[in-house]
Structure 1
Amino acid sequence: MSENAAPLLSVENLKVHFAIRAGIFQRRIGEVKAVDGVSFSIGSGETLGLVGESGCGKSTTGLALMGLVRSTDGRIVMHGAEHVTQMGNVPRSHRRRMQIIFQDPFSSLNPRQKVRDIIRAPLDIHGVGSIEERRAEVAKLISLVGLRPDQADNFPHQFSGGQRQRIGIARALALKPDIIVCDEPVSALDVSVQAQILNLLADLQKELGLSYLFISHDLGVVEHVSHRVAVMYLGKIVETGPKKAIFSKPLHPYSGLLLRSAPSHDPHHRHKFSAVSDDIPSATRKPSGCAFHTRCPLATDICRQTEPKLERKADGQSVACHHR
């Protein structure tokens, strides 16, 4: 995204906290801070990769953007002030401009509906066009994602995993959105099929000018598809920046840990692991100060006492670390 260009999507201080309840009267005894003050932006035609360990809040962030989980606080703005959502209240117009591709192509499709009905559902719900126009649009979408016209009357169980994900992509495209949340869209697929789906998403981005929030734990995939990357740890973004900068010179110790943990295709290249604890803190009892200090080899007293802010550094990177 250009420095001076207005972002397509801006997320400001997004929080999603889940109450922990116990006892007969279900009294609140604590909370899980799944997303705890996340801010980022996505430009038109841009892909932002959101990475981190399982349980860090990546998918919850995507679901909150869609209004599929209720946000506790924060602001989501599309096209300046045109579409604003706050406290989980997502207007209908916002839903049309942002769609989602789910991780599991098996459970995200209704097994009792034919493909044409699954893809047409968003058009029916939002009352887009006449019956004939909807039928023509469904046929166009089926062809656009690489399926045959005669497969429109088939049920999901008659397709492979990759074909089911193509159906999910077609459904996401039905309302002509500006941005699509891709929630680990290839993690459940075979490697060869992953490449096909990634190529399809890239082609659609070029053809339709789409923007993506690409959520994944696979750093190789994120490096391939993203323009910028945001690294998430225990509900917070600890580093953001251009893809090349993040992958060549990560600033946050956690970003470096993630990159060193990724498997290498070069048998002569061995990662050198530093002494980092595998004891991941609980999201219900986050450490004081920097949440990563319990695992960080650079941690000092200030890390244990004061939470670092995300600050802009060289090469367009921003990092939340007292020692960077």
Structure 2
Amino acid sequence: MAETSAPLLAVSDLKVHFPIRGGVFSRVVGAVRAVDGVSFSLRRGETLSLVGESGCGKSTTGLALMGLQKSTGGKVEFDGQTVSDFRGAALKSYRKRVQIIFQDPFSSLNPRHRVRDIIRAPLDIHQVGTPSERAARVVELMERVGLRPDQAGNFAHQFSGGQRQRIGIARALALNPDVIVCDEPVSALDVSVQAQILNLLSDLQRDLGISFLFISHDLGVVEYLSHRVAVMYLGKIVEIADKAAIFANPTHPYTELLIRSAPSLDPRKRHQFKASNDDIPSATNKPSGCAFHTRCPLASEVCRTTEPQLGMRDDGRMLACHHR
């Protein structure tokens, strides 16, 4: 996907650290560096996937972009403007233009509210349209995501998991956002239902031009939906490239570990790369230098002492590695 204009969303050196308190006076004795200097961009109409093992900081990154988790440092720019500068109407507009689909369709919907109220909630909060226009919008959104409008009076517990996620998608679409953060949106669903939801998201992007920040650990899902992929390890991005390049030629040793570890019927993709150590370091006490050096078979002394910086290569791939 060729870049033809400035990115819609630009993230620079984003940090989210959680203090660790201890002792009688609960003093800060350390920090969990969940997100530790993440930088990437998201183009209009693009799907950028954040992938990595559990605990690498993917979901925290998404929540920080939404303002649902306070960041410790860094800068987020949306449509050329710095998000931290937004106040009043500008902040309200940003919240309308960036929405989220949560991982668990069971806990993310209020069981006491009817479906029409859940979908209409963003319209009510932002006072969009008249009551009759909001009701019509609910019908339109339900049809758009494949739900029957006559189900609008039902409660969430009356729907299957896939239907509940469709309700969550309809809610995220209500304000016509430019960006939707998809936080593991299909991981709680059966495989057959996953395919339906992924096809729905793909159709919505084609028809509406929405940009997706897609957070997932499922490489099959990522390969199907993404335009570009950003690989995270212990709070940092180690590689960003087009989807085809990532899956055909994973370059960072950690990216190669992820790709080669995924189940495959192709014997050429099995056991070509193994970590030298299966123990993942703690985010509270990260290794010096390259955080992956404790598991990397290519690690040398420079890896143990000097942290590699994410930089652009001649082929357009961004990489943080001393040896590749």
| TM score, norm. by length of structure 2 | 0.96
Closer, same or farther: CA 312–51 of 1 in aligned 2, 3 Å: same
Closer, same or farther: CA 275–206 of 1 in aligned 2, 3 Å: closer
CA RMSD in angstroms comes to 1.8
Q: Write the letter of the residue equivalent to 2:84.
A: T
Match of 1:198 in 2: 198
Match of 2:234 in 1: 234
Match of 2:51 in 1: 51
1:230-309 correspondence to structure 2 within 5 Å: 230-266=230-266, 270-309=270-309
Q: Write the letter of the residue equivalent to 2:155.
A: F
Match of 1:180 in 2: 180
Q: Write the letter of the residue equivalent to 2:320.
A: A
1:4-19 correspondence to structure 2 within 5 Å: 4-19=4-19
Q: Write the letter of the residue equivalent to 2:22.
A: A
Matched, 1:96 2:96: yes
* Contiguous gaps of at least 5 residues in structure 1: none
What does the per-residue CA deviation read over 1:291-319, in whole Å, with 9 as the maximum and x for residues that have no partner? Answer: 00111111111111111011111432110
| Bigger mean CA offset, 306-315 vs 204-213 | 306-315
| Bigger mean CA offset, 15-24 vs 202-211 | 15-24
Contact 1:75 1:86 in 2 (8 A): no
Matched, 1:142 2:161: no
Supply the distance in 1 between the matched residues of 2:267 and 2:323 (Cα, whole angstroms). 33
Q: Helix, strand or coil for the counterpart of 1:250?
A: coil
Match of 1:209 in 2: 209
Q: Write the letter of the residue equivalent to 1:85.
A: S
Count residues in correspondence.
Answer: 323
Supply the distance in 2 between the matched residues of 1:271 and 1:159 (Cα, whole angstroms). 42
Supply the distance in 1 between the matched residues of 2:308 and 2:266 (Cα, whole angstroms). 36
1:21-36 correspondence to structure 2 within 5 Å: 21-36=21-36
| TM score, norm. by length of structure 1 | 0.96
Q: 1:5 Cα deviation (Å)?
A: 1.4
Contact 2:234 2:283 in 1 (8 A): yes
Matched, 1:85 2:84: yes
Match of 2:116 in 1: 116
Supply the distance in 1 between the matched residues of 2:99 and 2:274 (Cα, whole angstroms). 40
Supply the distance in 2 between the matched residues of 1:215 and 1:265 (Cα, whole angstroms). 25
Contact 2:162 2:189 in 1 (8 A): yes
Q: Write the letter of the residue equivalent to 2:118.
A: I
What does the per-residue CA deviation read over 1:230-278, in whole Å, with 9 as the maximum and x for residues that have no partner? Answer: 0000000000011111111111000000001100134786333435210
Q: 1:25 Cα deviation (Å)?
A: 2.5
Contact 1:119 1:167 in 2 (8 A): yes
Closer, same or farther: CA 68–170 of 1 in aligned 2, 3 Å: same
Q: Write the letter of the residue equivalent to 1:118.
A: I
Percent of residue pairs identical: 71
Contact 2:52 2:217 in 1 (8 A): yes
Q: Helix, strand or coil for the counterpart of 2:294?
A: coil
Match of 1:164 in 2: 164
Supply the distance in 1 between the matched residues of 2:218 and 2:105 (Cα, whole angstroms). 18
Q: Which runs of 4+ in 1 moved over 6 A?
A: none
Q: Helix, strand or coil for the counterpart of 1:293?
A: helix
Q: 1:60 Cα deviation (Å)?
A: 0.3
Q: 1:223 Cα deviation (Å)?
A: 0.6
Q: Write the letter of the residue equivalent to 2:83.
A: V
Closer, same or farther: CA 56–269 of 1 in aligned 2, 3 Å: closer
Contact 2:257 2:275 in 1 (8 A): no
Supply the distance in 2 between the matched residues of 1:268 and 1:22 (Cα, whole angstroms). 50
Closer, same or farther: CA 35–175 of 1 in aligned 2, 3 Å: same
Supply the distance in 2 between the matched residues of 1:283 and 1:275 (Cα, whole angstroms). 19
Match of 1:60 in 2: 60
Q: Write the letter of the residue equivalent to 2:186.
A: V
Q: 1:86 Cα deviation (Å)?
A: 6.5
Q: 1:80 Cα deviation (Å)?
A: 1.1
* Contiguous gaps of at least 5 residues in structure 2: none
Closer, same or farther: CA 251–272 of 1 in aligned 2, 3 Å: closer
Q: 1:77 Cα deviation (Å)?
A: 1.0
Supply the distance in 1 between the matched residues of 2:269 and 2:217 (Cα, whole angstroms). 21
Q: 1:150 Cα deviation (Å)?
A: 0.8
